[in-house]
Structure 1
Amino acid sequence: MSARYPTTITPTQTRIGWVGIGVMGSAMASRLLSAGYSVTVYDRTPSKAAPLQSKGAHLAPSVADLARASDVVFTMLGHPSDVRQIVLENLVPSLNPNGVIIDHTSSHPTLAKQIYDSALERHCHSVDAPVSGGDIGARDGKLAILAGGDEDVVKWLKPLFDEMGRVTYVGGPGKGQHCKIANQITAGANLLGLSEGLVFADKAGLDKLKFVEAVRGGAAGSMVMELFGDRMIKKDFKPGGVAEYMVKDLGMGVDVGEEEGDEVVVLPGAALTKQLFASMVANGGGKLGTQGLISVIEKINGS
């Protein structure tokens, strides 16, 4: 008998499914494989599965087959449209009784609620659990995991979350996505501030590495600086989170209140940051890491 909520999660009993094995998803699934869990993966580009297969993962021919072979299914996709098609329209209808879906995609709160309700109708469970920490956090198991849904289910899933980082329960269905949008508003502002600080330091004739070392312990220091400061200086724009996704996330922040019929929150900083990331995308940098925002500020300044 496979383990399902509320049976204790263990590597020997709990079958894991994983859909979406890009930079983040692959690193997160790898950590579950390393912990001894049986992991079945699916991706629309099957060749992406080769590195995980070499570590023992199984490749499912379809999303429905993966759902039927799993007790807990994780998803890490690109856009809310992907989540709607893959999770709401395909995964949820194929879940085993008492199955669980954990969506790590940065998606829309309203869609997360729809998935939760649809899963509940099938006597299943859904958690919206977007993450923060980038590719390094995914690789090192140090992600911040922002979980919305039923608190008891999140607590039950903690052994799995612990392999990937630190989970915080932030409220009911959709609240994980709300928390991630707030995170992106904050992170985007930090990326913009760091970009402008580095460009200013460079124009002033400062050594940028020394600038970062001098200020990182003060009020200007941040996790964004720790994760991306050296990469920005070295023009290393290899993606963890990509620029086009930041446009999506900030767009949801600017628009989400109006779309949900709630009070609209005026976010002038987020609107500006979104515009600058959109400029990066328009210049062909949509697939670059978010730290590439500095290239926009450099271009504005003729660098």
Structure 2
Amino acid sequence: METPYPEPIAPAKTRIGWIGIGVMGAAMASRLLSAGYSITIYARSPSKALPLQSKGAQLANSPYDVAKCSDVVFTMVGHPSDVRSVVLDTNHGILAGLNPGGVIVDTTTSSPALAREIFQAAKAKGCHSIDSPVSGGDIGARDGKLAIFAGGDQLAVNWLSPLYEVFGKVTYMGQAGCGQSCKIGNQIVVGANLLGLSEGLVFAEKAGLDARNFVDAVRTGAAGSMVMELFGERMIEGDFRAGGFAEYMVKDMGMGVDVVEESDDERVPVLPGAALGKQLFAGMVANGDGHLGTQALITVIERLNGK
């Protein structure tokens, strides 16, 4: 690319900024700290930053301040509107503070169109932007086994590879926005798997089967999945602590479904399963369960069955 990068990435040289320290973001930032990187973080609620500060992270007053002292700034926030505010705010955003040659890496599940907009805005300032949402939940974030989907300039993705290796495995998907499109497709598959597992467990219980015995019996066959490995035991135990909020699945699956609803383009796929999944997760939100983990989808199926 015409715009130069900072020096090759190394813990002693590369300054990292991190914005968004929820369950996923905190685990990912913690791995970078453990790998020896210097990290500056921003949190809307400063008290949430204390665990990372105890590991050596520095706290800044705004995304702008994070960017001013960073070579690479990661974001892991909630919604596309949050990404827009954090990155593009004229006075306090990352791009306003980032030095030429700096890199923005958005790991939020966000809009492909917004990723393309940020890419162009960064390019105009002589910076780089990569959309690289992740999959693998809180366990994958903690253990460094995330699947990472990267969109943008491939040279920038290659340059970032030492950082991606801390989190898991990165796959380059194509131009800006392609990382986000891949994640939306991923969420469609995850939602379908969660629904199938929820219905299978409810059916097994109604049939008088032991739930753990059922899962153990089918996990090595065609019904087995990473969703089953990550969430099967939690669903059986009724452990609905969030690795990812159920309300985010409404957003994620909606970014696929809503394109269908809003477009007459014959190339846009019809996604009836994703539409149903979005509706069921929206039902969780309506029940006040939007901040439970995605595995709590089973509660919707249980309610439909009178439990």
Matched, 1:204 2:207: yes
Cα offsets for 1:76-97 (capped at 9, x unmatched): 0000010111112211121111
8 Å CA contact 1:108–1:252 kept in 2: the answer is: yes
Match of residue 272 from structure 1: 276
User: Which AA in structure 2 matches 1:148?
Assistant: G
1:163 is aligned to 166
2:189 is aligned to 186
CA–CA distance in structure 2, aligned partners of residues 260 and 120 of structure 1: 29
1:224 matched residue in structure 2: 227
Percent of aligned pairs with the same residue? 69
1:98 maps to what in 2? Answer: 101
SS in 1 for 2:171: strand
In 2, Cα distance between equivalents of 1:298 and 1:222: 21
Instruction: Please state if 1:287 is matched with 2:277.
Output: no
Higher mean C-alpha deviation, range 256-265 or range 220-229: 256-265
Q: How many aligned residue pairs are there?
A: 300
Q: Equivalent residue of 2:17, what SS?
A: strand
Per the TM alignment, residue 259 of structure 1 is displaced from its structure 2 partner at its CA by: 5.9
CA contact (8 A) 1:146 1:169 kept: yes
CA contact (8 A) 1:110 1:260 kept: no
Q: Distance in 2 between matches of 1:37 and 1:261?
A: 48
1:237-248 mapped onto 2 (5 Å cutoff): 237-248=240-251
8 Å CA contact 1:103–1:130 kept in 2: the answer is yes
Partner deviation per Cα, 1:262-282 (whole Å, 9 max, x = no partner): 533210000001000000111
- Secondary structure at the aligned position of 2:287 is classed as helix
The aligned amino acid for 2:272 is P
* Aligned match of 1:215: 218
SS in 2 for 1:85: helix
Q: Which residue of 2 aligns with 1:143?
A: 146
Q: Distance in 2 between matches of 1:19 and 1:144?
A: 20
Instruction: Give CA-to-partner distance per residue, 1:7-37, whole Å, 9 cap, x none.
Output: 2100000000000000000000000000000
Choose from 224, 234, 237 the match for 2:237. Answer: 234
1:253 has 2:256 as partner? yes
Q: Is the 8 A contact 2:260 2:270 kept in 1?
A: no
Output one character per residue of 1:95-142: Cα deviation in whole Å (capped at 9) or x when no partner: 111000000000000000000000000010000000000000000000
Report whether the alignment pairs 1:133 with 2:146. Answer: no
Mean Cα deviation higher: 110-119 or 81-90? 81-90
Please, what TM-score do these two structures have when normalized by structure 2? 0.96
Q: Quote the Cα distance in structure 1 between the aligned partners of 2:61 and 2:123.
A: 26
Please report how far the alpha carbon of residue 256 of structure 1 lies from its aligned counterpart in structure 2 after TM superposition: 3.0
Partner of residue 110, structure 2 = 107
Q: Cα deviations across residues 145-167 of structure 1 (Å, max 9, x unaligned)? A: 10000011001100000001111
1:43-62 to structure 2, matched below 5 A, reads 43-62=43-62
Unaligned segments of structure 2, at least 5 residues: none
Residue aligning to 2:82: 82
| Structure 1 vs Structure 2 CA RMSD | 1.2
Change over 3 Å in CA distance of 1:258–1:91 after alignment to 2: farther
Cα distance, 1:63 vs structure 2: 1.1
Residue aligning to 1:29: 29
Cα gap change, 1:211/1:278 in structure 2, threshold over 3 Å: closer, same or farther?
same
Match of 1:187, SS state, is: helix
